[in-house]
Every structure is written in structure tokens, then in C-alpha cells.
Amino acid sequence: MVGSQIQIFGTDDASLNKAAKLLKSGELVAFPTETVYGLGALATDERAVLKVFEAKGRPSDNPLIVTVSSVEMVEKFVGPINSSGKALMDAFWPGSLTLILPIATSCLPNVVSAGLKTVAVRMPDNAVTRKLIELVGQPIVGPSANISGRPSPTKAEHVESDFRYRIAGVIDDGTTPVGIESTIVDVSDEDNITVLRPGDIREEQIAQVVGPLSHGPVDTEKPKAPGMKYRHYAPLVPVVAKNGGVEDFLPYLEVDYPLAIAVPSTIYRALEDDIADHMNMDRELVLYDLGEDVKDFQHRLYGILRDVDETPAKELILYVPLESDETAGYLNRALKASSSFEDGL
């Protein structure tokens, strides 16, 4: 199948049956979730999983998330689920929360977990993908469906752009609503529960369910979860992360080279009003509206990071807010995509 042009599947039953058949035969099919599109392969098939690493250009020491359709499916592939794991599943599944759990002996290929004694598992809040997994009858791996290091895909078109002749298909379910990858929580040690990757579900929400969290050092050389060791999410255009207000972004209207600026709606409107007075009209400027709040920022970020590569811009100035529990997920992705940071405060 590799070498053939990617098939675009709908979400109807006939399309999902075709996609499930491809997965069961060892092919790769990208699927939608509420966070980003994932690159699916049968988690129990080592050869299929290895195709994921090859297609993405993903380092082999970067473990994969196993995507399931039910808690019962998780119980077949992990050791006993402790009370904290069960409580978080009850509170947030299906949803954008990935849990690190002890893996059952020899139940999954070592390549899935990068040889670790734990595995990352998630049940997405997307009925289409849960039905797909039910049709397959086995869990599927689900790293983001992008070339490793590039911005994650929030539309089927992004997947098609990256993998046109590398994978068998993609299920098109429109734009993903959350827009950044899931929060990852390590519950493998109930006395040392740790957030390994921030996301839409915040630390405060997790602590309300399981109590105080650990904030000790995390091993990034042998990471238990994706997104911890390598640079991610970056477009080809260099990104400068910057915080501040309108006055901190106004000087960029006068630079003498093609530039892109992505800012919240309040700053966006002010810059639009000032463009005529400040801008050097001999070069091009692209303004992106990140939206009104951090939920909007998350939803729009990867689309902007992909779109900027289609513009003449030589640099993207990307707004980042001050660090807080609410902004942690967006800030994590924005800074990982950036080559430098400028403090406007």
C-alpha cells in the first residue's frame, strides 16, 4: 500500500470498516481525536508499529501512546490499575488525558513502550475513532500524524500534506476541537503522581481528583511519554516567542523583511489599526489572530504554524502568555516550536 496515494475516508460505517480492514492488515491509517490527528497502527503488530516510526522519522526511544475504545481494553494490556488511575479514568475518559501505567509482561511489542516497564494509554473523546478501534478489536498506537518535529495536524489536509504516499489512509472528521495533544500523567507509582506533559486538562483539575502531585525531577533521557525529549511542533520558518502588550509588538510593523505575527484578538485589532501608519509598504506582513483566550490559542496554534510556511515570511513572532496552570499546555507547545524567546514585560 505504501507508495500509493493516501485514501481519504469519511466517517460513515462503510468507510470505517475499510479503514479497520487496512489496520488489521498491518497498514497505517490516520484518525481524528479531539486533540490532534493520530497515526494509527495495530498496537499488537510489531511490523506495523515499526512502520509508524519509519513514516514519521521518529526516534525509536520516543514511546508511543496506545489508543483504546474502552477501559476493558486497557485492562487486557496493563497490570492492575491502581485507585488513582481508575479515578482519573472515571473523571476524564473519554477525553484528552493520557495515563502512564505498568505494562503487562509481553503483551505489546517492546517498540511501543521503547522497552520501558510502563505504557501510555488514552481513550479519545471522538466517537468515530472509538468505533474504529472497536471494529479493529485491538488497541492502536496513536502518535500525532505528522513528520516528527513538525507541527501536529488538526485537519485531515495536514495529514495528507505530510504523508501523501507514506500511509494507506486518513479518516476526515474535520478540524479537531482542542488543538493540542493530551495531558500526560504518570500514575504508575501512586505515591509519585506526575504530570509529564501539560495539555487541555490542567494540573489543578487532576489534583482535585487524586490529591497533591509530585513535582520532582523527570527523566528526559529515557522518557516515559512522548513530547519530553526532542524539539517538536516547529514550522520551517523560525519562530520567536514573545510576551507583552500592543506596544511590544508595534515595532515589528516597521521591520524591513517579510514577517508574520500571531497575537491575541485584542492586540491583533490594535495592530490592524496601526498598520497604515507604521508599516514599511515595501515588504509583506502576515497577521494571525490567535483568538480571545487560551482555549482559542490552543485551537489555532498548529494551523498557524503550518500556514506560515506557505507565506513569504522569514520569521514568525508568536505571542506567549505568562506561565500559569491555565496557559501551561499552550505555552509548552509554543516554546517547543520556538527558536528564541523575547520578554516584553
Helix (H, G, I), strand (E, B) or coil at 189: coil
Full pLDDT tens readout for the chain, 345 residues: 556 789 999 999 999 999 999 999 999 999 999 999 999 999 999 999 999 999 999 887 789 999 999 999 999 888 789 999 999 999 999 999 999 999 887 789 999 998 888 999 999 999 999 999 999 999 999 999 999 889 999 999 999 999 998 999 999 999 999 999 999 999 999 999 999 999 999 999 999 999 999 986 665 556 666 655 555 689 999 999 999 999 999 999 888 899 999 999 999 999 988 776 655 555 689 999 999 999 999 999 999 999 999 999 999 999 999 999 999 999 999 999 999 888 765
E strands, the chain, where? 7-9, 29-31, 38-42, 65-67, 97-102, 118-122, 140-141, 169-171, 183-186, 194-197, 239-242, 259-263, 285-289, 316-319, 340-342
CATH class given for the domain over 239-342 = alpha beta
> Where exactly does CATH 3.90.870.10 map onto the chain?
7-210
Q: Work out the end-to-end distance of the chain between its first and last CA atoms, rounded to an integer number of angstroms.
A: 53
> Where exactly does CATH 3.40.50 map onto the chain?
239-342
Q: pTM for the full model? A: 0.93
| CATH number for region 7-210 | 3.90.870.10
